Each structure stands twice: as structure tokens, then as C-alpha cells.
């Protein structure tokens, strides 16, 4: 098998550029060829009685067609997340007790949470106490359980078969949608013969698989957007796989792990549609992924306007080739599938006399907020204050103190960080990479000009997410800065990977490859030191 085999599911032909592939005749030619190929396959399927087996073979062929580098990225991301899942003590990830309780409630009681107050099952409460889980959160000076006596007490409670039935009050996770938790009931059930900690570790392993999928889709996204530079796929995919924050979250029970995978998959599907046209199959897949996003975490709402914009733009393009009817029926199907969870949610709320938009309604009706004030706040949440606006973050450089420093490392219950000098030193490579990425963007300006629509769609997704997070902080003044968690930005990981590959390109033809290698080693180093930090925090 060649390292970058072409064929079904492979990248557009080597040598084609982003510039020529979008919004041009070349795009239409390729799109037409792609559709004819799809039609031929569909015709073949009509004459094949075992069409299901044929589809299975298609998927197998697609997977076999993936380059080896893609599988390495998946493996690295999975191993990394598993490693994080072992070094992070149980329940020492934000809201993990709550996410576990949600899954346990669904699995044991077959019901969804009834309240965001906290009262876990007797078994979980006992184990949390044995692990000193709550005390550890507030005290970085304390380490996890360290004596054989504590271990014996823990084992005693683990084997006492305490009740696993919850009260419906699962804490902060209670307002979240259920898809991730429904999937987590599978490993929970498979490990049900074991102890609660066995179940927790099994659930963490499912998250680790989602981390692997995230890296895979980042790789595939890069393959679509930068088809002429295969080495960029590997550099970007490996950097995504080695991102410590991805490993930390994918090594825990947290719906963010699934949100990252779903978002990366949507980025890939949109990029594919921009290269090859939006056929019905791809429209259905994007619709399904969007529905999955809504059902995974409310943060997905921020990405959805960009996804819808993408579908509309792609349908208008497809209408020029296929005629309006076919194009807009694909759009209709995608939107109907994507919006179905939202409609069901609205209907359920309306029938049960609850606020139509659930917790979102509370935010919309919050008092004492203005649109201009909100926009100014959201701007300052990420960027320096503009002249003439009120200062919402006095004494704080949000981009530096909140986003950059926290990206360097905030683990455990966000109480485990590097000493301040590390954040200062990290500015040097970050600044160099940013400079090289800008240079790479400048060098690729002609290609970028011809991809403006596609870039606009990705930008809309990014801006939508940033606005959603900023607005959440604005409407919750008591914990506003608490929303500044870099993990909320990881659904944009594919775009971050593009910037890294642009940095390697920005180094020029001679230095591009060495700089790409150094970037990978830099991410590896960041990951290793982050894990050592967590080990030092909990086990000394």
C-alpha cells in the first residue's frame, strides 16, 4: 500500500491547489466526475441484492484507502488519551463526577436528569469520599490517596455493592443533551460486573476512541484543504493527536470529547463538499453530524450557524450544476435531519410547560444587559479593549492571562498549572509559529482569495463558537471568567492544525520540512511535560 494511496475516498489529485479547486471550472469538472462516479456506484448497488454487504465493503475499502500516517495519528491520539486516563485520578477532571452520575442514571434508572442540583448515587458518593475527590479539587498541596489503609477502605466500599440508583440530581451536567451519555452506557454496562472504578475507566476509554477520531478527521480535513502537501497532513494530524488538552479531556468522561470528534468530522465533510460538490449522501452525513452535535453539547449551537451557511453556499453551487430541484432537496434533507433534535426539544418543552428554549430562555430573559454592552464584553473576552468602551476586565489581559496561559496547561480541576515562567517562555515558540503562519498565509494569498467563500464558512463557525462562549460569560456575571476555558475552543482544532501547517509552509521550501518536524517535537514535549506536571501534582 502506498503511503498516500489515491482511489475511493482519497484526496483530490496531487498538484491541484486550493485555489483551483473552489469556485472555478476545475471545481465543476471534478464535481461532475464525482457525481457520475457516485451514480455508477448507485446503479451497481441497484443490481446487487446484497447491497448492505456492498456498502460495508465500500466502507472497508475507504478505510483501507487511508494512508498509514492517518492510522498513526489515530493510534497516537488514542494512546495519549489512555495515558492521560491513567495518570489523572478518578473524578479529577472538571465535572467528571457529574458526567458519570448522568450516565449512571441513564443506565440504572433509564431516565434523564431531573435537576442540576447534586445528589449522586450512594455508591458514587461513597467512592468520591474515599478518594478525597472534593478536598483534592481545592487544594493543590494535597495528593491523591497514598496509604494502604485508604486503599483498603476504598476497596471495601467498591466491593460492598452499594446502590447505583441515582436521584435524578446529577449536578452541572444535568442540563446537557443526552447522546454522549447514552453512548457511555455501553462501556458502563460492559464493565458492570466490575467496580465503579472499572466502569469509569471503561467510559474513559470510549472517550479516548473519540480522541482518536478527532485526530483522524483533522488529518482528513487537512488532506482536503491542502491536497498538494501530504507532509502537512501528517504534521497537522500528529500535532492534533499530541495536543495535551485533547488528551486530558479525551482521557476523561466528558461530552467535550465527543463534541471535538463531531466538529472535526463536520469540518472534514464541508471541506470535502467544497472540493467535490454536495451530493445527497454527503448532505445526509452533514445533517446527521449536525444533529449529533446538537445532541452532544449545547456549545455546538455556536458552530451551527456556520454549518448552515456552508450547506446553503454548497447547495447554491450544486444548483448551478444539477439544477435547483436536486440541490435544494439535498439541502432540505440535511436541514431537516440537523434540526430534528432541536424541534423535538422545543416540542417536549412546550408539552411539559417548561420554558421553550430550556436554560437558554433564562439567559435571553436576563435583566440589565444591552446588546452593545454584550458585544463590547465579548470583544474584550478575547481581545484588547477598544477605545471608548468600558473596561470589563481591569488588570487582566484576557488574550494573554486567560486564553494563552491557560492553553499552556490547566489540568485537574483547573488547579494544576505550570509555574508562571513557563507561560513566559512559551510565548517565544508561540510567537515564532504565529509569525511563520502569517508568512504562510501571505505566501498563499492568491489561493486564499479564491477560497474566500470556504474560509468565510469556517470563520462563521469559529466566530459563532467564540460569541456563544463570550455571551455565556456575559450573562453569568458571578462566574464570568470561569467560561474562559481553552477546551471550549477545541472544536476548532482542525483550523488550528491548518495554521500550524501554514507555519511550516511559511518557513519556506528549504526550512519547511525541518520546521514541521520541530513543531511535532514541540507538541510532544508539551504533552510529556504536561503529564509530568499532573503526576507531580497528584502523586508526590
Among 201, 224, 322, 454, binds other proteins (CB under 8 A): 201
Among 392, 458, 474, 488, binds other proteins (CB under 8 A): 392
CB 76 within 8 Å of CB 238: yes
Among 217, 268, 413, 458, binds other proteins (CB under 8 A): 413
Cβ proximity to other proteins: between 194 and 323 the closer is 194
Cβ proximity to other proteins: between 11 and 269 the closer is 11
> Residue 317 CA to chain centroid, in angstroms?
28
Beta-carbon count within 10 A of 205 CB: 17
Cβ proximity to other proteins: between 307 and 493 the closer is 493
**Interatomic CA distance for residues 199 and 213, integer angstroms:** 22
- Of 172-180, 256-264, 406-414, 441-449, which part binds other proteins (CB under 8 A)? 406-414
Q: Which of residues 418-447 bind other proteins (CB under 8 A)?
A: 419-421, 423
- Give the dihedral sign, CA 451/454/458/460: positive
- Of 15-23, 50-58, 64-72, 456-464, which part binds other proteins (CB under 8 A)? 64-72
- Give the dihedral sign, CA 216/82/482/292: positive
- Of 31-39, 80-88, 113-121, 464-472, which part binds other proteins (CB under 8 A)? 80-88
Beta-carbon count within 10 A of 10 CB: 16
Among 96, 123, 125, 405, binds other proteins (CB under 8 A): 405
**Interatomic CA distance for residues 201 and 187, integer angstroms:** 9
Cβ proximity to other proteins: between 83 and 118 the closer is 83
- Give the dihedral sign, CA 45/50/52/56: negative
Instruction: Mark residues 114-153: x for contact with other proteins by CB under 8 A, - for none.
Output: -----------------x-----xxxxx-xxxxxx-xx--
Q: How far is the CB of 395 from other proteins (least distance, A)?
A: 4
536 binds other proteins (CB under 8 A): yes
In sequence order, which ranges of 191-255 are alpha helices (DSSP H)? Answer: 196-225, 230-242, 244-250
For the record, the C-alpha cell of 284 comes out as: 445526509
Q: How far is the CB of 181 from other proteins (least distance, A)?
A: 20
Bridge partners, 417 (sequence order): 410
Cβ proximity to other proteins: between 101 and 286 the closer is 101
Cβ proximity to other proteins: between 3 and 325 the closer is 3
Cβ proximity to other proteins: between 128 and 259 the closer is 128
- Of 31-39, 320-328, 340-348, 530-538, which part binds other proteins (CB under 8 A)? 530-538
Size of the site for other proteins (CB under 8 A): 89
Among 410, 458, 475, 488, binds other proteins (CB under 8 A): 410
**Interatomic CA distance for residues 410 and 412, integer angstroms:** 7
φ/ψ bin of 251: left (φ > 0), alpha (ψ from -120 to 50), beta (otherwise): alpha
Residues 6+ apart with CB under 8 A from 461: 267, 303, 305, 306, 307, 310, 492
- 122-129 long-range contacts, Cβ below 8 Å, gap at least 24? 122/162, 122/163, 123/157, 123/162, 123/163, 123/164, 123/196, 124/97, 124/100, 124/164, 124/166, 124/196, 126/157, 126/160, 126/162, 127/90, 127/154, 127/157, 127/158, 127/196, 127/197, 128/91, 128/97
The CA-atom distances, in angstroms, between 296 and each of 176, 319, 346, 413 are 8, 32, 16, 22
Among 28, 58, 228, 401, binds other proteins (CB under 8 A): 401
Residues 6+ apart with CB under 8 A from 510: none
Q: How far is the CB of 502 from other proteins (least distance, A)?
A: 16
Q: How far is the CB of 274 from other proteins (least distance, A)?
A: 25
Among 107, 235, 271, 426, binds other proteins (CB under 8 A): 235
Among 328, 345, 382, 393, binds other proteins (CB under 8 A): 393
382 binds other proteins (CB under 8 A): no
Instruction: Mark residues 146-185: x for contact with other proteins by CB under 8 A, - for none.
Output: xxx-xx--xx------------------------------
- 349-353 long-range contacts, Cβ below 8 Å, gap at least 24? none
397 binds other proteins (CB under 8 A): yes
Cβ proximity to other proteins: between 119 and 231 the closer is 231
Instruction: Mark residues 268-287: x for contact with other proteins by CB under 8 A, - for none.
Output: --------------------
**Interatomic CA distance for residues 247 and 252, integer angstroms:** 9
- Of 294-302, 329-337, 368-376, 511-519, which part binds other proteins (CB under 8 A)? 511-519
- Of 37-45, 171-179, 464-472, 519-527, which part binds other proteins (CB under 8 A)? 519-527
For the record, the C-alpha cell of 246 comes out as: 485533547
Residues 6+ apart with CB under 8 A from 441: 448, 502, 506
Q: How far is the CB of 338 from other proteins (least distance, A)?
A: 34
Among 16, 38, 83, 192, binds other proteins (CB under 8 A): 83
456 binds other proteins (CB under 8 A): no
**Interatomic CA distance for residues 399 and 396, integer angstroms:** 9
Among 186, 197, 316, 455, binds other proteins (CB under 8 A): 197
Among 220, 402, 437, 467, binds other proteins (CB under 8 A): 402
Q: Which of residues 237-266 bind other proteins (CB under 8 A)?
A: 238, 241-242
For the record, the C-alpha cell of 465 comes out as: 463558537
Bridge partners, 416 (sequence order): 411
383 binds other proteins (CB under 8 A): no
**Interatomic CA distance for residues 276 and 299, integer angstroms:** 29
Amino acid at each position: 500500500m502506498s503511503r498516500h494511496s489515491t482511489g475511493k475516498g482519497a484526496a483530490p489529485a496531487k498538484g491541484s491547489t486550493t485555489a483551483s479547486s473552489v469556485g472555478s471550472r476545475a471545481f465543476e469538472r471534478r464535481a461532475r466526475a464525482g457525481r457520475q462516479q457516485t451514480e455508477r456506484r448507485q446503479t451497481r448497488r441497484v443490481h446487487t441484492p446484497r447491497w448492505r454487504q456492498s456498502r460495508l465493503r465500500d466502507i472497508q475499502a475507504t478505510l483501507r484507502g487511508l494512508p498509514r500516517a492517518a492510522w498513526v495519528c489515530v493510534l497516537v491520539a488514542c494512546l495519549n488519551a489512555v495515558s492521560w486516563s491513567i495518570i489523572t485520578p478518578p473524578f479529577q477532571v472538571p465535572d467528571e463526577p457529574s458526567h458519570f452520575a448522568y450516565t449512571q442514571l441513564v443506565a440504572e434508572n433509564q431516565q434523564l436528569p431531573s435537576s442540576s442540583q447534586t445528589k449522586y448515587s450512594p455508591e458514587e458518593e461513597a467512592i468520591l469520599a474515599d478518594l478525597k475527590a472534593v478536598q483534592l479539587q481545592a487544594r493543590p498541596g494535597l495528593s491523591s490517596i497514598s496509604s494502604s489503609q485508604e486503599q483498603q477502605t476504598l476497596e471495601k466500599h467498591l466491593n460492598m455493592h452499594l446502590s447505583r440508583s441515582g436521584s435524578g440530581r446529577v449536578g452541572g451536567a444535568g442540563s446537557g443533551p443526552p447522546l454522549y451519555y447514552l453512548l457511555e452506557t455501553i462501556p458502563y454496562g460492559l464493565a458492570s460486573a466490575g467496580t465503579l472504578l472499572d466502569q469509569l475507566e471503561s467510559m474513559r476509554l470510549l472517550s479516548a476512541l473519540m480522541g482518536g477520531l478527532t485526530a483522524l478527521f483533522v488529518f482528513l480535513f487537512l488532506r482536503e484543504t491542502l491536497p498538494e502537501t501530504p507532509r502537512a497532513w501528517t504534521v497537522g494530524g500528529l500535532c492534533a493527536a499530541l495536543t495535551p488538552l485533547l488528551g486530558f479531556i479525551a482521557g476523561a468522561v466528558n461530552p467535550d470529547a465527543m463534541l471535538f470528534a463531531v466538529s472535526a468530522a463536520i469540518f472534514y465533510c464541508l471541506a470535502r463538499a467544497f472540493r467535490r460538490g454536495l451530493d445527497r449522501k454527503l448532505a445526509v452525513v452533514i445533517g446527521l453530524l449536525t444533529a449529533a452535535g446538537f445532541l452532544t453539547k449545547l456549545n455546538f449551537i455556536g458552530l451551527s450557524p456556520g454549518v448552515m451557511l456552508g450547506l446553503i453556499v454548497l447547495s447554491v453551487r450544486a444548483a448551478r450544476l444539477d439544477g435547483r430541484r436536486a440541490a435544494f432537496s439535498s439541502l432540505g434533507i440535511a436541514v431537516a435531519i440537523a434540526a430534528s433534535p432541536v424541534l423535538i426539544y422545543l416540542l417536549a418543552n412546550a408539552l411539559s410547560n417548561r420554558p421553550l428554549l430550556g436554560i437558554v430562555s433564562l439567559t435571553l430573559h436576563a435583566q440589565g444587559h444591552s446588546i452593545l454592552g454584550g458585544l463590547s464584553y465579548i470583544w474584550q473576552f478575547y481581545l484588547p479593549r477598544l477605545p471608548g468602551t468600558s473596561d470589563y476586565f481591569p488588570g487582566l489581559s484576557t488574550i494573554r492571562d486567560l486564553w494563552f496561559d491557560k492553553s499552556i496547561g490547566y489540568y485537574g480541576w483547573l488547579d494544576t498549572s505550570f509555574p508562571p515562567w513557563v507561560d513566559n517562555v512559551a510565548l517565544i515558540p508561540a510567537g515564532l509559529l504565529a509569525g511563520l503562519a502569517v508568512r504562510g498565509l501571505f505566501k498563499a494569498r492568491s489561493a486564499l482569495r479564491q477560497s474566500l467563500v470556504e474560509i468565510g464558512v469556517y470563520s462563521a463557525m469559529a466566530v459563532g463558537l467564540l460569541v456563544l462562549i463570550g455571551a455565556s460569560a456575559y450573562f453569568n456575571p458571578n462566574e464570568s471568567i470561569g467560561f474562559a476555558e481553552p477546551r471550549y475552543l477545541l472544536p476548532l482544532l482542525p483550523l488550528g492544525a491548518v495554521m500550524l501547517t501554514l507555519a511550516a509552509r511559511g518557513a519556506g521550501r528549504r526550512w519547511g520540512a525541518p520546521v514541521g518536524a520541530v513543531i511535532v517535537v514541540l507538541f510532544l514535549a508539551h504533552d510529556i511535560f504536561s503529564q509530568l506536571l499532573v503526576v507531580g501534582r497528584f502523586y508526590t
